[in-house]
């Protein structure tokens, strides 16, 4: 079976998903694209054999030959695309964030609950990375005992100077660490604190680095370093410290060379290089679930809970105080 996909938003990651759906994965084809920038949508359509260009997301979602909808527009436009796709009963892949406010996330959850089955997968791709999956399997396997702490390190070589703001260190970057902390520890965040050491002078006035401590509801702790101008590469680290052992994400380079008294390996240049296989697995699993009429993976509830932690962390960064994360009741639809 071939799942026919409509893509909303043909910017950087939208184009990459079109390439993936067209050239990398089997069992899918892109039949429709739209973007507020029509020329960009046309150019993206030209990279795949059978895609028509639509004027807007509503008509794309309503098209009979669009069986599943991939949303890769910018965050503030996500809700307006998700709600009609939910009403149409079409499986949805939505790039993170689910929506840009908690209220919008709750409206989406309400709409999905009204449909009565999960139709939304949110683009938190680390859960599809082989190293993170091995870490999760180790925790669940029980050999190291109950997890007590998760340490996450998220380092970018550099970020675009005029586009990247201090808040984005939390709302755009740390959200991935919030996602894996909740997923690995299988718990919600109760309180978050964000500390800011001396600034990295490379970033000028940017609040960089930051160090967050998340208190999970069950008592475990998760710490996150976000450094976005560290120069040497894109470095993602993670370690679980547990009652009877520890488990650490392996280095992502496949080979370490020892030579002339040194040892060395490649550090990925950026997130594309580090997570390309995870993006492939993420969309492959979405297509497989869509072929069966549903979705799996990070849910709308995850998108909402992460937005709530992100908002609390932004307050915490401004005040220096620990801020509580208030979550509504989780609907049964999102029970594991």
Compare residues 123 and 147 and give the one whose CB is closer to ligand NAP.
123
Q: Between residues 3 and 33, which has the closer beta carbon with respect to ligand NAP?
A: 33
Q: Which stretch binds ligand NAP (CB under 6 A): 32-40, 160-168, 211-219, 311-319?
A: 32-40
If one asks whether residue 34 binds ligand NAP (CB under 6 A), the answer comes out as: yes
8 lies in the site for ligand NAP, by CB under 6 A: yes
With binding defined as CB under 6 A, does residue 95 bind ligand NAP?
Answer: yes
Give the interface segment with ligand NAP, choosing from 6-14, 185-193, 195-203, 298-306 (CB under 6 A). 6-14
Number of residues that bind ligand NAP (CB under 6 A): 23
Contact between 96 and 13 under an 8 Å Cβ cutoff? The reply is no
- Closest approach of ligand NAP to the CB of residue 183, in Å: 14
**Residue 123 touching ligand NAP (CB under 6 A):** yes
173 binds ligand NAP per the rule CB under 6 A:
no
> Is residue 35 near ligand NAP by the rule CB under 6 A?
yes
Which residues 54-83 are close enough to bind ligand NAP by CB under 6 A? 57, 72-75, 77
- For residues 128 and 220, which CB has a smaller minimum distance to ligand NAP in the complex? 128
Rounded distance, CA 336 to CA 152, Å?
24
Is residue 154 within the footprint of ligand NAP (CB under 6 A)?
no
290: which 2 tokens?
């869509």
Q: Does 303 bind ligand NAP (CB under 6 A)?
A: no
Residue 199 CB contacts under 8 Å (≥ 6 apart), including other chains? 205, 206, 207, 208
Shortest CB 36 distance to ligand NAP, Å: 4
Q: CA 65 to CA 62: how far, in whole Å?
A: 9
> Applying CB under 6 A, which of residues 17, 20, 96, 182 lies at the interface with ligand NAP?
96
Rounded CA separation 264/243 (Å) = 32
Residue, CB closest to ligand NAP: 11
Binding to ligand NAP by residue 14, rule CB under 6 A?
yes
Based on the shown chain and the rule CB under 6 A, indicate whether residue 12 belongs to the binding site for ligand NAP: yes
**Which residues of this chain interact with ligand NAP, rule CB under 6 A?**
8-14, 34-37, 40, 57, 72-75, 77, 95-96, 123, 125, 271
């Amino acid at each position: 079976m071939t799942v026919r996909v409509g893509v909303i938003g043909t910017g950087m990651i939208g184009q990459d998903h079109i390439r993936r759906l067209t050239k990398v994965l089997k069992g899918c084809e892109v039949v429709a694209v739209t973007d507020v920038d029509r020329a960009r949508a046309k150019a993206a359509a030209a990279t795949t054999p059978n895609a028509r260009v639509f004027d807007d997301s509503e008509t794309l979602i309503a098209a009979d030959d669009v069986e599943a909808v991939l949303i890769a527009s910018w965050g503030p436009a996500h809700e307006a695309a998700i709600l009609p796709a939910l009403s149409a009963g079409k499986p949805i892949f939505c790039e993170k964030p689910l929506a840009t406010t908690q209220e919008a996330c709750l409206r989406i959850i309400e709409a999905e609950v009204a449909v009565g089955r999960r139709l939304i997968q949110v683009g938190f791709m680390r859960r599809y990375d082989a190293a993170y999956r091995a870490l999760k399997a180790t925790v669940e396997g029980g050999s190291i005992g109950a997890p007590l702490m998760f340490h996450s390190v998220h380092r970018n070589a550099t970020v675009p100077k005029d586009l990247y703001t201090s808040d984005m260190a939390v709302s755009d970057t740390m959200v991935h660490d919030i996602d894996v902390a909740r997923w690995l520890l299988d718990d919600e965040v109760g309180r978050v604190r964000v500390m800011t050491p001396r600034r990295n002078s490379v970033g000028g006035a940017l609040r960089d680095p930051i160090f967050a401590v998340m208190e999970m509801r069950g008592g475990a702790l998760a710490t996150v370093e976000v450094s976005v101008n560290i120069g040497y590469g894109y470095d993602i680290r993670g370690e679980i410290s547990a009652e009877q052992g520890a488990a650490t994400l392996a280095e992502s380079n496949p080979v370490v060379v020892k030579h002339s008294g040194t040892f060395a390996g490649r550090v990925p240049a950026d997130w594309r290089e580090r997570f390309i296989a995870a993006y492939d697995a993420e969309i492959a699993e979405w297509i497989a679930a869509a072929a069966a009429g549903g979705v799996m993976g990070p849910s709308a509830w995850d998108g909402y809970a992460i937005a709530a932690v992100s908002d609390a962390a932004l307050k915490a960064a401004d005040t220096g105080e620990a801020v509580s994360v208030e979550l509504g009741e989780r609907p049964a639809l999102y029970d594991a």
